[in-house]
Structure 1
Amino acid sequence: MFNDILTGYGLNPETYSIQSFGSGLINHTWKICPPEGQPCYILQQINTAVFKHPEDIALNISSLGSYLQQHYPDYLFAGALPTTTGNYLFINEEQQYFRLFPFIAQSHSVDMVHTPEQAFEAARQFARFTYLLSGFDANQLKITIPQFHDLSLRYQQFTYALTHGNPVRIQEARDLIHFLQQQQDLVKTYERIIISPGFAWRVIHHDTKISNVLFDDQQKGLCVIDLDTVMPGYFISDVGDMMRTYLSPANEEEKDFDKIIVREEFFTAIARGYIGELQHELTPTEKQHFTYAGQFMIYMQALRFLTDHLNDDIYYGARYEGHNFIRAQNQVVLLQQYNAKESLFNQIISTL
Structure 2
Amino acid sequence: MELNLDPEILKAFGFSEENITITQIGSGLINRTYLVSEQLADKKYILQNINTAVFKNPEAIANNIKAVANYLLISSPDYLFIKPIQTAFGDEMAFIKHEYWRLLPFIADTVSLDVLTQPLQAYEAAKQFGKLSRLLKNFNVSKLEQTIAGFHSLDLRFDQFSKALICITPEIKALAKIQIDSALAHKYILDFYKSYAHSVDLPDRVMHHDTKISNVLLNADTFEGVCVIDLDTLMPGKFFSDLGDMMRTYLCAFSENETDLSKIKIRLPYFEAMIKGYLSEMKSVLTPTEKELILFSGKYIIYMQALRFLTDYLNGNIYYPINYESQNLDRAKNQFKLLQEITLNEKELQSIIEENLV
Q: TM tier, shorter chain? A: over 0.9
Deviation string for 1:114-160 (max 9, x for gaps)?
11111110100001001111121111001100000000111111111
Within a 5 Å distance, the mapping from 1:295-310 to structure 2 comes to 295-310=299-314
The answer to whether 1:186 aligns with 2:189 is yes
Question: Which has the larger displacement, 235-244 or 151-160?
Answer: 151-160
Contact kept, 8 Å, 1:166 with 1:311, in 2: the verdict is no
Equivalent runs, 1:329-344 vs 2, <5 Å: 329-344=333-348
Which residue matches 1:110? 113
Say whether 1:200 aligns with 2:203.
Answer: yes
1:12 CA displacement = 1.9
Residue among 78, 81, 84 paired with 1:74: 78
Compute the displacement of 1:241 (Å).
0.5
Report how far residue 317 of structure 1 moved: 4.0
Kept after mapping to 1: 8 A contact 2:19/2:40: no
Deviation by residue 1:193-240 (Cα, 9 ceiling, x = unmatched) = 321121121100000000000011211000100000000011111011
TM-align CA RMSD = 1.1
Structure 1 match to 2:324: 320
Q: Deviations over 1:308-329 (max 9, x none)?
A: 1111112224321211111111
What's 1:172 paired with?
Answer: 175
Corresponding position of 1:289: 293
Cα distance in structure 1, aligned partners of 2:110 and 2:15: 23
Identify the range of structure 1 (24-33 vs 302-311) with the bigger mean alpha-carbon deviation.
302-311
Between the aligned partners of 2:40 and 2:112, the Cα distance in structure 1 is: 22
In 1, distance between residues paired with 2:178 and 2:282? 40
Q: In the superposition, relative to structure 1, how do residues 99 and 340 fare at CA in structure 2: closer, same or farther (>3 Å)?
A: same
- Consecutive unaligned residues of structure 2, counting only runs of 5 or more, are none
Find out whether 1:134 has 2:137 as its counterpart: yes
Letter of the 1:131 counterpart: R
**Does 2:28 correspond to 1:24?**
yes
Deviations along 1:46-70, one digit per CA (max 9) or x if unpaired, are 0000000111111111111111111
State which of 60, 65, 86 in structure 1 corresponds to 2:90.
86
SS in 2 for 1:40: strand
Question: Does the 8 Å CA contact 2:87/2:93 hold for their aligned counterparts?
Answer: yes
- Counterparts of 1:173 and 1:239 in 2: how far apart (Å)? 29
Partner of 1:7: 11
| 1:147–1:153 Cα contact (<8 Å) kept | yes
**Distance in 2 between residues matched to 1:55 and 1:210, nearest whole Å:** 26
1:232 aligned to which of 232, 236, 239: 236
Within 2, Cα distance between the matches of 1:281 and 1:192?
22
SS at match of 1:315: coil
SS at match of 2:150: coil
C-alpha displacement of 1:166:
3.2
Q: Distance in 1 between matches of 2:182 and 2:314?
A: 15
Aligned AA (2:26): G
- Identity, % of aligned positions: 45
Amino acid of the structure 1 residue aligned with 2:215:
N
Q: Indicate how the Cα distance of structure 1 residues 17 and 283 shifts in structure 2: closer, same or farther if over 3 A, else same.
A: same
2:153 to 150, 153, 158: 150
* Pairwise CA distance, 1:35: 2.1
Is the contact between residue 29 and residue 43 of structure 1 (CA under 8 Å) also seen in structure 2? yes
| Structure 1, unpaired ranges of 5+ | none
Partner of 1:255: 259
For the residues of structure 2 that align with 1:72 and 1:206, how far apart are their CA atoms?
22
Query: Which of 221, 224, 235 pairs up with 2:225?
Result: 221
SS in 1 for 2:195: helix
What is the distance in 2 between the residues matched to 1:59 and 1:50? 17
SS in 2 for 1:193: coil
How many corresponding residue pairs? 351
Partner residue of 1:59 out of 63, 70, 87: 63
Native 8 Å contact 1:29 1:44 kept in 2? yes
Q: Which amino acid aligns with 2:19?
A: T
Q: What TM-score, normalized to structure 1? A: 0.97
On the 8 A contact 1:165/1:312 being kept in 2, the answer is no
Alignment equivalent of 2:128, drawn from 125, 130, 135:
125
Measure the CA separation in 2 of the matches of 1:77 and 1:2: 29
> Is the Cα–Cα contact under 8 Å of residues 2 and 13 in structure 1 kept in the other structure?
no
Give the match's secondary structure for 1:186. Answer: helix
